[in-house]
Structure 1
Amino acid sequence: MALPIRDQLKYWGVAAAVFLVALWFLGDVLVPFLLGGAIAYFLDPVADKLESMGCSRALATLLITIIAILTFVLVALLVIPTLVNQTASLIETAPQLFKNFTNFLTERFPALLDEGSTLRTSLNSIGATIQERGGELLETALSSFASIINVLLLFVVVPVVSVYLLLDWDRMIASIDRLLPRDHAPVIRDLAKDIDATLSSFVRGMGTVCLILGSYYAIALMLVGLQFGLVVGFVAGVLTFIPYLGALIGGALAIGLALFQFWGDWVSIGLVAGIFGLGQVIEGNVLTPKLVGSSVGLHPVWLILALSVFGTLFGFVGMLVAVPLAAAIGVLARFAVDQYQQSLLYRGTGRHEHAEADDA
């Protein structure tokens, strides 16, 4: 006889509570393992494809590892130094940018920004705050990455964990499958497939979209001569993970910088705007339909809510698990709604239909 529903809910509730407590107390420790697991999950289809071409799992993992190391070294040598330098320069020139913006408004709208007005003072203080806080943030980040512990976590533990998980991924899934409750194994497998389909469509698809768009924005903006094109492309590419946000923030940042740098050169300003317009056309009509699909099941508002809630509660580790948990909760919610619509609570006993038929 199957375990009563009340007892099942009790056990699953305890498991969920243990998971949340572990995130709360062990968040910093779990970060490299979650990153390693995410990398392994992202690369598992590549390993499966190599296996179907005749490679063993070990050989497929070795090939992927070699390519990943070469890519990382190339990016570290060519991209990261330029990205750091441009970010530092952008932070240093922020006050001057705001000053130029204030002067621009003063020349064209003198009544709007009188000397000593609240708006003028606020704009000047914003630039100084960005320089002060941005410099502190950059300095803290650089010193943090330079520390021995973080270097070990990021550059040793994460690759090692990802390689081992990628090597044993299929065996781990089979082991988990053997531990499923026998009465509910078919339903859990179906739900897991739906969650995997949602995650694979969104995470792998949007990850690829972010990489392509970020590279396109960075290269195109640098080619038209925008000073901080690499930083803008990086920001726009990362934020593309949240639909529409990357284009809005990246486009506003790029066009704003172009107005300061190319004021009067409307061709260059138009090229910057055109780069983001073309990027949105490519994303909406080619990249997202092909790589992500039209029915992912993760609404942008739901995704932003999940990132905000889990990020606030559990910090960076919460943001790492927000997307998988959002996908899982969405699938479970749709399953619950489907079960409800098939239940007597929703459909009723049908007596009212018979009563209406008798009255007729």
Structure 2
Amino acid sequence: MFKVLSNWYHRTFTDPEAVAMALVLLIGFTLIYFMGDLLAPLLIALVLAYLLDWPVSFLANHGFRRGLASALVLLVFFLIATFAVLRILPTVWGQGVNLLSEYPVMLNSSQQWLESLPQRYPEFIDGALIEAVVSNVRSRLMGVGEQLLQSSFSSIVNLATVMVYSVLVPLMVFFMLSDKKTLLGSVSRFLPNDRRLIVQVWAEMNGQVVNYIRGKAIEILVVGCISYVVFAVMDLRYSALLAVLVGLSVLIPFIGAFAVTLPVAMVGLFQWGVSPQFGYLILAYGVIQVIDGNVLVPLLFSEAVNLHPLAIIMAVLVFGGLWGFWGVFFAIPLATLVKAVINAWPHHNAQPEEQSPQA
């Protein structure tokens, strides 16, 4: 057993470039794991910098100084974001408050409907099973409601932190955009000399992250807008709030769409009951998910995310469990990073005469 482990160690860690890459990855993951909360403003700034780098580079290539281009793009972005927040946030907040106030009524209505099923179809549905399911679902949903209230109160308490972030994040984004080459050069000085593999993985990951962040931003906007139009045309209550939830659900592949189905179905069932309108709502929601999965995702991401669906789900579960929201948000890039490292890692055959892979 020891000989097997020794042979594996010598085959895997004899390359100094591989050791350097492993050391950099270990330090990076350790810092993020233990200092994730402190690095949250930096992560937000990095996401925005990746999102805004394309228009800044476009202006810089057409005669603008990079500092001026960064200031203009950042100003336009925050003006648009402020306008959208001032127009959308009050509506979403008001609908959220109303939904929470009607939450117990919806639960009671859903419970009564489920409890009536054994009487309507006694040969197919067991009353004891329905009662157990209703009790379990009710306790979980009430727990979700309590968590939402607690998060609302904690967000009010942490308003000072939000105000600090609103100043720090734009400043960091501006310096990341305007001094991009200088910052990259400064970071490279701290890397080991044997860094060919690090550069190779970074080149692959940089393109992946850029495409992923831009694609996700566009996907959230498109799915959210389509959902709002569909819900508003159908005169569904809380259409703005549900559209925002559906748009944000694309951040969590597969799982997000399934999770948002419950509030959409509950609101529709409470408003219309089991009726043709409710069926049209579920059909329209299913069409939106089909368009997202079969049109938007291939169009926006193309080959940027070449991962098996099982690998994506596992990445969401693992990295989400480690780093919460940011782990979920960066689950696909992190999974792509793992894949890039595996592909770039030197592979040595077991035979002594074949010490290096063929080019």
Question: What secondary structure does 1:297 align onto?
Answer: coil
1:77-99 Cα deviation digits (max 9, x unpaired) = 22112222222332332332222
Alpha-carbon distance in structure 1 between the residues aligned to 2:53 and 2:35: 26
Partner of 1:42: 51
- What's the counterpart of residue 233 of structure 2? 223
- 1:151 paired to 2:162: yes
Match of 1:195 in 2: 205
Q: State the shift of 1:285 in Å.
A: 4.3
Matched with 1:210 is: 220
Query: Per the alignment, do residues 188 and 126 of structure 1 end up closer, same or farther by CA in structure 2, a change over 3 Å counting?
Result: closer
Which secondary structure does the structure 2 equivalent of 1:345 belong to? coil
Match of 1:238 in 2: 248
- Give the number of aligned pairs: 338
Which SS does the other structure have where 1:308 is aligned? Answer: helix
State the Cα RMSD in Å: 3.2
**Structure 1 counterpart SS, 2:253:** coil
- Within 5 A, what are the aligned runs for 1:76-91? 76-91=85-100
- Give, in angstroms, the shift of residue 139 of structure 1: 4.1
Check conservation: 2:253, 2:313, Cα contact below 8 A.
no
**Amino acid paired to 1:220:** V
Q: Which has the higher contact order (CA 8 A, sep 6+)?
A: 2
Aligned to 2:114, which of 105, 116, 119? 105
**By how many angstroms is 1:311 displaced?**
3.3
Name which of 270, 288, 299 aligns with 1:290. Answer: 299
Q: Provide the C-alpha distance between the structure 1 equivalents of 2:256 and 2:228, rounded to a whole number of angstroms.
A: 13
Identity of matched residues, %: 24
TM-score (structure 1 length as normaliser): 0.80
Q: Secondary structure at the match of 2:57?
A: helix
Q: C-alpha displacement at 1:65, in angstroms?
A: 1.5
Q: CA deviation at 1:197?
A: 2.4
> Which one is further off, 249-258 or 226-235?
249-258
Alignment correspondent of 1:138: 149
* Cα-to-partner distance string for 1:225-253 (whole Å, 9 max, x where unaligned): 11122222222221212333343333453
The aligned counterpart of 2:350 is: 345
One-letter identity of the residue aligned with 1:235: L
Q: Which amino acid aligns with 1:203?
A: I
Compared CA separation, residues 300 and 348, structure 1 to 2 (3 A): farther
Unaligned runs of 5+ in 2: 1-12, 355-359
1:352 corresponds in structure 2 to: none
Conserved 8 A contact 2:272-2:278:
yes
CA contact (8 A) 2:20 2:192 kept: no
Higher mean C-alpha displacement, 15-24 vs 201-210: 15-24
- Report what 1:262 is aligned to: 272
**1:24–1:78 Cα change, 3 Å:** same
Structure 1 residue 52 and structure 2 residue 61: aligned? yes
For 2:105, the equivalent position in structure 1 comes to 96
Unaligned runs of 5+ in 1: 350-360
> Is the 8 Å Cα contact of residues 16 and 194 (structure 2) preserved in structure 1?
no
For the residues of structure 2 that align with 1:233 and 1:344, how far apart are their CA atoms? 53
**What do the CA deviations read for 1:26-67 (whole angstroms, capped 9, x no partner)?**
222111111111211221122112222332212221222222
CA contact (8 A) 1:36 1:161 kept: yes
Q: Counterpart of 2:182 in structure 1: which amino acid? A: R
Deviation digits for residues 229-281 of structure 1 (CA, Å, limit 9, x no counterpart) = 22222222212123333433334532342223112541x32442343233234
Once residues 262 and 217 of structure 1 are traced to their aligned partners in structure 2, the CA distance between those partners, rounded to angstroms, is: 18
The answer (yes or no) to whether the contact 2:215–2:301 under 8 Å persists in 1 is: yes
Check whether the contact 2:311–2:335 (CA below 8 A) recurs between aligned residues.
yes
Q: CA deviation at 1:292?
A: 0.8
